[in-house]
Amino acid sequence: MTDSMKENGSMKEKTRDKAAGLAIWSGPVEPVPLGGGLSNQNFVVEDGGEKFVVRISDDLPEHGVLRFNEVIASRAAHAAGLSPEVVHDEPGVLVLRYIDSRTLGEEDVCDSAMLDRIVPLLKRVHKQMPDHIGGAVSAFWVFQAMRNYRSLLKRGESRMMPELPRYEALADELEEAVGPVRLVYCHNDLLPANFLDDGERLWLLDWEYGGLNSPLFDLANLASNSRFDPVLEDRLLHAYFEGPVTHELRRSYEAMKCASLLREAMWSMVSEIHSRLDLDYVAYTTENLERFEQAYRAFS
């Protein structure tokens, strides 16, 4: 066994022990690992005849993730009827009430009938979340995130250093193409696995990147993460904007989609340096760069 494998095993055990040792439990519990999570570790815990999901993760300043913001957003999302109830939180820990449901995959999100359920959910996020958030509201601007990533990659002497000047020029081009935006409250991380279907309604999870943004980012992020084809993208834009999709809107959306993919690739590049989770970030970087290059060729 390598030193890296030993370290990862030890970290997983410590994380499990942390989930098991929370003071909220009525007695001894046995946390069961739950799949998913590129920046956190999740467990299902049964206690007192109920089930809960425990999310364990510290702040990730390199990604702009501050857990107090996730807690605020998660509580607001529950108040808006979008997400499960927050049962408990403490530094590095978020406990949610378990929802008996299935996690969506790419093929689910790409189903037109499912998309017709997702779009109204996103509209509720964009319109209702601010009514339930008290105090300061975070913001997420994909192009500023990429500027920060470039700085981190330079300081960390990333293996991608030779490509950074090109990515900087491309990001500037895409930001110009997006143009003026209107701000709403966005989820900003619409992976298929962040949607749950309980058979009657959809739930949205994982608010660690939640904040003010253009609604185009959520739409582009949803489409890029689930590999929408052009027909499905047209359906998405028509459904959300409830009218014809102008050339200007389409151009702005396509630029935002490219930005979403490039940002995901750069997120992975930074994770190659900073993350301690046992994931193949190099492969994830490669996959997202290939998808970005394909989308950018279509855009340009």
DSSP string, 52-76: EEEEE---BGGGTB-HHHHHHHHHH
Q: Can you read off the two tokens belonging to residue 79? A: 């108040």
Domain span at 25: 3-97
Based on the domain organization, do 34 and 60 belong to the same domain?
A: yes
**What's the mean per-residue pLDDT of the chain?**
93
Based on the domain organization, do 91 and 187 belong to the same domain?
A: no
Based on the domain organization, do 29 and 120 belong to the same domain?
A: no
Of 39, 70, 97, which marks where a domain is finished? 97
CA angle, residues 213, 115, 171, in degrees to nearest 5: 35
Based on the domain organization, do 69 and 130 belong to the same domain?
A: no
Based on the domain organization, do 73 and 112 belong to the same domain?
A: no
Provide the CB-side half-sphere exposure for 201 (13 A, CA). Answer: 9
pLDDT of residue 10: 63
Of 58, 82, 97, which marks where a domain is finished? 97
pLDDT of residue 6: 44
What span, in angstroms and rounded, lies between the C-alpha atoms of 230 and 262?
19
pLDDT-derived band of residue 4, with 50, 70 and 90 as boundaries?
very low
Give me the amino acid identity at 256: M
Based on the domain organization, do 74 and 120 belong to the same domain?
A: no
Average pLDDT over residues 136-155: 95
Lowest mean pLDDT among 16-25, 31-40, 127-136, 267-276: 31-40
Average pLDDT over residues 4-11: 52
Based on the domain organization, do 206 and 114 belong to the same domain?
A: yes
Based on the domain organization, do 119 and 51 belong to the same domain?
A: no
Average pLDDT over residues 141-161: 97
- CATH number of the domain residue 185 falls in: 3.90.1200.10
Domains in the chain, number: 2
pLDDT-derived band of residue 150, with 50, 70 and 90 as boundaries?
very high
pLDDT digits (tens, 9 = 90+) for 72-110: 999 999 999 999 999 999 999 999 999 999 999 999 999
pLDDT digits (tens, 9 = 90+) for 205-238: 999 999 999 999 999 999 999 999 999 999 999 9
Residue with tokens 């998660």: 74
Give, in order, the Cα–Cα distances in Å from 31 to each of 39, 44, 55: 18, 6, 11
Residues with Cβ within 8 Å of 23's Cβ and at least 6 positions away in sequence, in order, are none
Give, in order, the Cα–Cα distances in Å from 116 to each of 16, 108, 110, 184, 228: 38, 11, 10, 21, 14
DSSP string, 152-186: HHHHTT-TTGGGHHHHHHHHHHHHHHH-S---EEE
Residue 287 has pLDDT above 70, yes or no: yes
Residue 21 has pLDDT above 70, yes or no: yes
Of 61, 79, 97, which marks where a domain is finished? 97
